[in-house]
Structure 1
Amino acid sequence: MTARPGIDTPDHRGRRGLDRAGRGLDRNPDVVVQAVELTSQGWHVLRRTTFDYRRRDGRWETQQRETYDRGNGAAVLPYDTERGLVLLTRQFRYPAYVNDHPDGMLVEAAAGLLDQDDPLTAVRREAAEELGVTLGPLTHVFDAYMSPGSVTERLHFFAAPYTAAGRTGAGGGVEAEGEDIEVLEVPFAEALAMTRDGRVADGKTIMLLQWAALHGPFAPGGRAHGPFAPGAPARGPFASQCGV
């Protein structure tokens, strides 16, 4: 039998057993996984899973779902309340460009995959690489599945203060990974307006900016009076996994 990269032997990223994801899941008695098929394994992994599902009326039926596994990620909104600013990025996103975005240049919060890091480490890494900034204390905002119908990714959301003195690098991302990122220092009121007029069309960024306006550093009463004050416990069902 021919060895199968990513299944029997390591693939180009050193992974193996990629067809095992989901097998043995038993947290939900109404779902029984029967088979997992690896259909594509580029940088990320596409699987087709067959499972039995018990409907609310008690009937069992067999279903198939494809899942796109790109790993989990983390995003951060750096803010400066003294100057009323937030740090964002602008970069080319081909998937948005091919799906009707005018030029594919999206304004976003800094973010990246966790890879082998925990969420806190990943956020500080991405802030340094993309924004050239050293962040202050991190606040864990919430976690969210961004496209749960097909994508497995869980995104950890953070916010953190920064200062002008914390801008210690040029940012721009990692050129060897194809990144070409413009750093934007934007008045918060303008950034929020951009979510309303379409200049910000990225989901994670809209969520962080609206949180900042409703409950975070730019909320009425200020950050020190809200549930996300320094030292407040992390929120969300996965907070303990973030090490906050």
Structure 2
Amino acid sequence: MADEKLIKFGKQDVKIAPIKALYKGFFNINLYQFEHALFAGGQSATISREILERGDAVAVLPYDPSSNNILLIEQIRIGAIKSKQSPWLLECIAGMTDGSTDYETVVKREAFEEAGLELHELEFMLSYLSSPGGTTERLHLYLAPTDLSQLQSGVYGLETEGEDIRTHIISFNEAMARLATGEIDNAATVISLQWLALNRERILKQRT
């Protein structure tokens, strides 16, 4: 049954010791020491985990229903250098919320900073935990139906934040082909494109 409760435990079934700060820099790392309820009954031994405290983030996929084009950005992501020949990735526009819960305002700010794009319409797609075994980060994804016909590809980003960002306007079909080959392989962009594939027919019908 779809409404059947599958998750047995909750926050009340975890005992957490005072969290210890291990490192403060561009990101923060904290030490969590905890015990939790076991499925077979009783309590676990104390478990220690170093957790990356990134804060929450937003991402947005601009989509032009009239032309069936999308906008992606390209920038260097040093964490990709270990497993890819090029650490320059094709991505959605994204940014940290810096503690704000006004996610739409953050999305619009990032779109202007990273692509010179003024967004007026946003549709919430979903939110997800990026890697909950090692970080508290949650991402909030949006689709931005918008006119891309007058937007020129260019280079954007804030020099003060070390950003060097190039924009690309490509067809939805090309984006899906690059997704299928594995060229697009970062989670926020993969999920956003898959969400658009599932919802595109509805979005197009709403505009006819």
Q: TM-score range by the shorter chain?
A: 0.7 to 0.9
- Secondary structure, counterpart of 2:188 in structure 1: helix
State the AA in 2 paired with 1:55: L
Residue correspondence of structure 1 range 201-240 to structure 2 within 5 A? 201-215=185-199, 218-219=200-201, 222-223=202-203, 225=205
**Partner SS, residue 133 of structure 2:** coil
Aligned pairs, number: 196
Greater relative contact order (Cα < 8 A, sep 6+): 2
Cα displacement (A) at 1:51: 1.2
1:120 — aligned with what? Answer: 104
- Could you tell me which amino acid in structure 1 is paired with residue 90 of structure 2? V
Deviations 1:60-118 (A, max 9, x none): 12211221001100000000011110000011111101x22101010000000011432
Equivalences for residues 15-26 of structure 1 within 5 A: none
Does 1:107 pair with 2:90? yes
Q: Distance in 1 between matches of 2:149 and 2:180?
A: 31
Separation in structure 2 between the aligned mates of residue 108 and residue 28 of structure 1, nearest angstrom: 34
The residue type paired with residue 30 of structure 2 is R
Shift of 1:165: 6.4
Relative to structure 2, which stretch is displaced further, 76-85 or 109-118? Answer: 109-118
Whole-angstrom distance in 2 between the partners of 1:51 and 1:100: 32
1:54 lines up with 2:57 in the alignment: no
Q: Which residue of structure 1 lines up, in the alignment, with residue 159 of structure 2?
A: 175
Identity of aligned residues (%): 33
1:38 to 12, 17, 21: 21
* 1:138 shift after superposition: 0.6
Moved more, 138-147 or 62-71: 62-71
In structure 2, do the counterparts of structure 1 residues 190 and 224 end up closer, same or farther at CA, with 3 Å as the change threshold? closer
The answer to whether the Cα contact below 8 Å between 1:38 and 1:46 also exists between their aligned partners in 2 is: yes
Normalised by the length of structure 2, the TM-score is 0.88
**Structure 2 residue 144 is matched with structure 1 residue 160:** yes
Structure 1 pair 28–84 and aligned structure 2 pair: CA distance change class (3 A)? same
Structure 2 distance, partners of 1:181, 1:169, is: 10
C-alpha distance in 2, partners of 1:56/1:33? 18
Report the Cα distance in structure 2 between the residues aligned to 1:150 and 1:49, rounded to whole angstroms.
Answer: 10
Q: 1:206, 1:124 → 2: CA distance?
A: 21
Query: TM-score, normalized by length of structure 1?
Result: 0.75
Aligned 8 A contact 1:69 1:153 in 2 = yes
CA-based RMSD of the aligned residues comes to 1.9
In the alignment, structure 2 segments of 5+ residues that lack a partner are 1-9
What is the distance in 2 between the residues matched to 1:75 and 1:126?
9
AA aligned to 1:101 is K
